[in-house]
Structure formats: C-alpha cells, structure tokens
Chains A and B, each alone.
Chain A
C-alpha cells in the first residue's frame, strides 16, 4: 500500500496543479477548447450548436449556479435575442453589427421587466413565476405573427457574408461561420469571467450561500438579484443572436417551455456553479441527442432518464463531480 501510494504521489499534485492552471486561465482554456471543437465533433453543425447553447447556458448559470435562483423561463431571453436580431435585419434592414447590440439591449430590458416581477418572490415561487412569464412571451410572439411570423417562425433575413474591417468573409461556409460566431462566444465568456471575478461576483455567491447573512452585511439583495437577472438575460441573448445568424430563421419553439427546460438540463448535466460546466453540459446533451436519435425517435425518454439519474446521484454534474474527485484523491494519499 505504502509502495503504491509513494509511486502515485507525484502524479496527484500534478493533476491538482493542472486543474489550478485551468481554473486560473479559464477564458483562454475555454477559447482553445472551443477553437478545436469543430475538428473533434462528427459534424460542424453539432459544433455550432454546442457553441450557441454553451453561451445561453453559461448566461443561465450566472443566475442558477452562482446566485442559486432556479429560473424556468430562460428561453424568453434566448428567443428574444434571436427574434430581435432577425427583425432588425429583415424588417429594418440593419447590418448585423448594429442588429446584434440592439437585440441584446432590448433583451436586457425584457430581463429587467421580468426580473422586477420575479425577484420579488423567493424559492419555488421564483421558478413558477419565471416559467409563467416566459410562457407569456411565447404567447405574445405567437399572437404578434405580423412581426414574428407566428407558428411558422421568422424568416427572410439571411446573412450571407460578414464584412470585417474590409475583409469579406463568406458566412455560408460552415467553418467561417463557426469562427465568426465564436467571436461572439469569446465576448460572452470574457464578460462572464469578468463578472465572476468582480466583487459583485462574490456578492451573488454570498446571496446563494446565505441570503439573510448577505442582507445583514448591508448588501441590497433585491437589487443584486435584479442586476444578475439582467446580466444573465443579456449573456443568454448573445446566444440568441448567434442562433439567428446561424439558422437564418427563428423557430417559435425557441421561446417554448421545452427550451427553458433544456437549458436547465444542460447546466445540471455539465455542472452548475462551475465555469466550464455549461459548455460541457451543452456538448453532452447535444451529442447524446445526436447519438440516441439514430436509434430511436424517442430520444427524450433516454435524456429524461439520464437527467433524473443526475439529479439523484450526481447533482453537481460532470465537471463538479470531477472537481470533487480530486481532493478525495489527495486525501487518499
């Protein structure tokens, strides 16, 4: 036993050091991993989806993982970002670089409105209210069909090339498209890391751990919750803009409760409260969907069962569990 452990000993601190280095350079590590992604996955389409959902789920994780607020309505911001990008380009003829910031700003305003109502409630109420308000957004989009295309979805705003500092990039080429969209993802990842590194990032985690104590320390808990709700909505809206540019169509389903649920599933699979969890969760979910739907059209039953298993046995998700294993390995030494 002693022989074995002395043999394994140098390897373990090294693993720790690697993990610490990864944590210290999380933005860089994320970007390198995402840059390699199209070449690791079986299809470019899958890689783009991982990129888009990764950003959406990352924004959601700010609210659920870091602040501890379980929203079931994040499709509202994902969808609004997509719809407004499409409307700004198709209806108003704006170029994409004007449409995207506009869509993000308007989605943040929606998040302010929904956040004002929902952050007045706590615990389970919050989940129910966010779900209901997101359904409201869904029905508004369904009814306002002259603007949104109703059930058929929004069409007619194809972006076929991107003009970057005089450089014409063909946006129909899947590899070009991936790396252009990755620039948006890079912005979102940097913003997320910046928020978490700031004092505000520490405050939201304090609220998650003990709301009363955070209040007693003098923090305006309600205001912090509203701000984090808006930031979270804004980052998820970036994913929506990416989705609109990618698909050149916005399906009505993007606003559906199922989409909100999928975001929740992804964050839990990957690991809430962790920086890399959202991208890992999005990748695992989408690959799972891809693989299982080859065998059966009823892939949702498999995904649902796996999700239930995670809630019961691995509530920290893939990345969170992995992180937990390392100190345990150190103790064994």
Chain B
C-alpha cells in the first residue's frame, strides 16, 4: 500500500467527517441549549437534501439550493419548535425525544408521497466537477469544497458564539435559563432561534452530502445514528467535541474502508463503545451530564 493512497483516503475521511461535524453540531447545539435531543434530525437532514435538489433544479443553480435550503428548512424547524416541541418543555426529557421521533415518521413518509420512494441522483455542480492535483495525488474538487465550506461555517459559528452579544446570551442561557429570564432576556425566543439553527445545520449537511451519496427518503436513518455516535463520542452539548469526534469518525471510517471494507460500517460503533467504557460522558463532555 503506497503512502499517497493513504493520504488520499485521509482526505476523503476528512470530507466525510466534515459533513458529520455539521450534522452533529446541529444536534449538539440544540441539546446544549434546550436539553432536547431531536430524533427528527436525520429526517431533517434528508429534507435538506431534497430541498437543495428541488431548489437547484428550480433555479437551475446548485448555489441557490445550497443557500436557500438550510434557510427554508431552518424556518420549518422554528415552526416545529413553536407548534410542537415548545409544549413539552418542563415535561420529562423523554417526551420531546418521542415527539420528534414520531415527527420523523411523518416527514419521511411525506417525502415519499411527494418525491417517491426511489433514490434520486444529486448532480455535482458543474464548477466543482473534476479533480484537483494536491501534489501527492488527485482529489475530487467537490470534496475539497465541502471541507472548505464546513471550515468557514465553523469559523462563523465560533465567532458568533464567542464574540457577539447574541453568542453571550446563548452561552449564558445554556448555563442558567432562569437567571437569563430574571435579567430580562426572552429565553423562549433564543430557544426558537437555536432550534432553527440546529435544524438549518442538519439541512446544510443534507445538501452537502447530496452529491456524495444518492438522495433517498431513508438516508436520514443512517445519518441519525452517525450523528448520535459523533455526539456521544465528543460529549453531548460540546461543540469542540462534535468537531473532533466528527473528523475522527470520518477518518476512521475511510481508513478502515481501505484495509477492511466489510468492517467500515461497524467501526464507528466500536469506537463509541470503547470511548463509553473509558469516559461515559464523552471526550469533551462534562461529568454528571452523561
């Protein structure tokens, strides 16, 4: 096995991991803030992919799909929070989880009704077809673009959370929503926005993943399990954890695919089990949360 092949596979793993990071980040931000795990996250990822595909074919440009799909699906997520999830705050932590699980059933079947049950190919945008010479080998342009875009989104999120007033409110609200209320912050609106952000990130993950795998109504199930594995490894509610664990899982999957392809689907679960045995709260999780 020569070295360049391994390096290429490493890059593929990072591209795969980048999509995982974006998706898991949506899950983890919503949990950190609202204490809600969104079981419809995978279904909303799938809706994002379909919305991106539909908008791209409507406008004739992938870029409009990439821009509009997360915004529209994010707005849809806010609607879900306002109409359904909001009623369950203060009830058992299992209730929002069960609700969003039921919702995922509705969403998947809804997509089947509108777009049919068969997979649809998602064309790669024309500007990103082909490969780039990285010096040690050729790498698909689209995957390189995914890595770059995810890096930009992560940077923007980090700046927003750490450097702005809104970010300050969000971080404080995650610590103690009661005090925020006393200080005169309408925490309900912050939760609404965060839920929308989380769902929007899922949709962004869906659009980005589209050209790398075919789009079908069931694609969300695997993604949900993957996002869970990433957040459990990284520590639920931890943003750094989601980034590190997402890249780790992506690289792990593609490396194992190189040496033992039949183990590729299994390795991330084994990784999760190993992490749980050593650190039940995840790599970057706070003790007591797990």
Question: Which chain A residues numbered 290 to 333 have a C-beta less than 8 Å away from chain B?
Answer: 298, 300-301, 303-305, 307-308, 311-312, 315
- In the complex, are the beta carbons of A257 and B290 less than 8 A apart? no
Residues of A in contact with B (beta carbons under 8 Å apart)? 70, 72, 117-118, 120-125, 127-129, 131-133, 135-136, 139-140, 142-143, 257-258, 261, 264-265, 268, 298, 300-301, 303-305, 307-308, 311-312, 315
Closest 4 CB pairs of A and B: A304-B105, A136-B269, A301-B109, A307-B102
Given known A121-B290, A125-B290, contact A139–B105 (CB-CB < 8 A): no
Contacts of B104 in A (CB 8 A): 304
A198 smallest CB distance to B (angstroms): 26
- In the complex, are the beta carbons of B37 and A128 less than 8 A apart? yes
- In the complex, are the beta carbons of B103 and A308 less than 8 A apart? yes
Tell me, in angstroms, the Cα distance from A308 to B103 when the chains sit together: 7
Of the candidates A120, A122, A128, A303, which one forms a contact with B228 in the assembled complex, judged by CB atoms under 8 Å apart? A128
Contacts of B263 in A (CB 8 A): 143
Q: Chain B interface: which size bin? A: 35 or more
- In the complex, are the beta carbons of B110 and A301 less than 8 A apart? yes
Flag B78-122 by CB within 8 Å of A: 1 or 0 each.
000000100110010111011101111110111011000000000
Q: Check if B272 is an interface residue, CB within 8 A of chain A.
A: yes
Q: Residue on A with the closest CB to B221?
A: A257
Of the candidates A135, A261, A301, A305, which one forms a contact with B101 in the assembled complex, judged by CB atoms under 8 Å apart? A261
- In the complex, are the beta carbons of A298 and B109 less than 8 A apart? yes
- In the complex, are the beta carbons of A311 and B232 less than 8 A apart? no
List 21 A–B pairs whose Cβ atoms lie within 8 Å, in order of A's numbering.
A121-B232, A121-B276, A124-B31, A124-B93, A125-B280, A125-B290, A127-B37, A128-B228, A128-B236, A131-B228, A132-B229, A133-B269, A136-B273, A140-B266, A257-B224, A261-B101, A268-B98, A300-B105, A300-B106, A305-B106, A307-B98
B25 smallest CB distance to A (angstroms): 15
Question: Which chain B residues numbered 242 to 269 have a C-beta less than 8 Å away from chain A?
Answer: 262-263, 265-266, 269
A66 smallest CB distance to B (angstroms): 14
Q: Residue on A with the closest CB to B110?
A: A301
Contacts of A261 in B (CB 8 A): 101, 105
